[in-house]
Structure 1
Amino acid sequence: MKNLLLFLLLAVTVYSCKKNNQLEADIAQINIDVEVERFDQFFAETNAETLPKLKKAYPFMFSKKYKDSFWLAKINDTLQQMLSSEVNKTFSNFSDTEAEIESLFNHIKYYFEAFNPPRVITTTSDVDYRNRVIVTDTIAIIALDNYLGSNHEFYTNIPKYIKSHFKKEQIVVDLATEYAKKYIHQAPNKTLLDEMIYFGKQLYFKDVIIPFKTEAQRIGYTKDELNWANINESDIWRYFVERELLFSTDSKLPSRFINPAPFTKFYLEDIDANSPGRLGQYIGWKMVRAYMNQNKVSLKKMLITSAEEIYNNTKYKPNK
Structure 2
Amino acid sequence: MTKKIKFFILFFLIIFLFSCQNHNRFRINTKKNEVEVRIRRFDKDLINVDTTNLKAEIRKIYKDYPVFFPVFINEILNVAPSDTDSVAKLIGDFLCDAAFQKVNKEVLKTFADVHDIEKQLSIAFTYMHHYFPEIRLPEIYFFVSGFNRSIIIYPSLIAVGADLYLGADYPLYKSFTYEYLTFNMRPESIAPDVVSTLLFSYFPMESENNRLLDNMLYNGKILFLLSVFMPDVEPSVLMGYTREQWQWCKRFEKEIWAKIIEDKALFSSDMRLINSYLDEAPFTAPVSQDSPGRVGTWIGWQIVNSYMKKNNNVSLRQLANENNYQLLLQKSDYRP
3-12 or 24-33, larger mean C-alpha shift: 3-12
CA shift digits 1:101-131 (9 cap, x unpaired): 1111111111111234322111011122xx4
Counterpart selection for 1:292 from 308, 311, 329? 308
Gaps of 5+ in 1: none
CA shift for structure 1 position 7: 4.6
Counterpart selection for 1:38 from 24, 41, 62? 41
CA shift for structure 1 position 15: 5.0
CA contact (8 A) 1:196 1:284 kept: yes
Match of 1:315 in 2: 333
* Equivalent-residue separation in structure 2 for 1:215 and 1:72 (angstroms): 43
Match of 2:151 in 1: 133
* Equivalent-residue separation in structure 2 for 1:5 and 1:285 (angstroms): 34
CA contact (8 A) 2:139 2:156 kept: yes
* Equivalent-residue separation in structure 2 for 1:104 and 1:164 (angstroms): 23
* Equivalent-residue separation in structure 2 for 1:5 and 1:252 (angstroms): 53
192-201 or 109-118, larger mean C-alpha shift: 109-118
Residue 28 (1) aligns with residue 31 (2)? yes
* Equivalent-residue separation in structure 1 for 2:22 and 2:328 (angstroms): 26
State the one-letter code of the partner of 1:304: N
Counterpart selection for 2:220 from 177, 182, 200? 200
CA contact (8 A) 1:161 1:261 kept: yes
SS for the counterpart of 1:26 is coil
135-144 or 221-230, larger mean C-alpha shift: 135-144
CA contact (8 A) 2:22 2:309 kept: no
* Equivalent-residue separation in structure 2 for 1:211 and 1:155 (angstroms): 30
Residue 95 (1) aligns with residue 95 (2)? no
Name the CA shift for 1:194/1:4 in 2 (closer, same or farther; >3 Å): farther
* Equivalent residues, number: 312
Counterpart selection for 2:162 from 117, 139, 144? 144
Match of 2:195 in 1: 176
Match of 1:86 in 2: 106
CA contact (8 A) 1:185 1:303 kept: no
CA shift digits 1:7-33 (9 cap, x unpaired): 534333345547877964523312112
* Equivalent-residue separation in structure 1 for 2:189 and 2:97 (angstroms): 28
1:52-63 mapped onto 2 (5 Å cutoff) = 52-58=59-65, 59-60=69-70, 61-63=72-74
Name the CA shift for 1:19/1:284 in 2 (closer, same or farther; >3 Å): closer
Counterpart selection for 1:120 from 124, 130, 140? 140
CA contact (8 A) 2:138 2:158 kept: yes
* Equivalent-residue separation in structure 2 for 1:185 and 1:79 (angstroms): 37
CA contact (8 A) 2:211 2:274 kept: no
SS for the counterpart of 2:40 is coil
CA contact (8 A) 1:185 1:304 kept: no
Residue 12 (1) aligns with residue 15 (2)? yes
State the one-letter code of the partner of 2:229: I
* Equivalent-residue separation in structure 2 for 1:226 and 1:156 (angstroms): 24
State the one-letter code of the partner of 1:62: I
State the one-letter code of the partner of 2:130: Y
SS for the counterpart of 2:276 is helix
Q: CA RMSD in A?
A: 2.2
* TM-score, structure 1 normalization: 0.90
* Equivalent-residue separation in structure 1 for 2:6 and 2:326 (angstroms): 41
205-214 or 176-185, larger mean C-alpha shift: 176-185
Residue 277 (1) aligns with residue 297 (2)? no
* Equivalent-residue separation in structure 2 for 1:247 and 1:23 (angstroms): 31
CA shift for structure 1 position 289: 1.1
SS for the counterpart of 2:46 is helix
CA contact (8 A) 2:279 2:294 kept: yes
Residue 236 (1) aligns with residue 264 (2)? no
SS for the counterpart of 1:303 is helix
Residue 254 (1) aligns with residue 274 (2)? yes
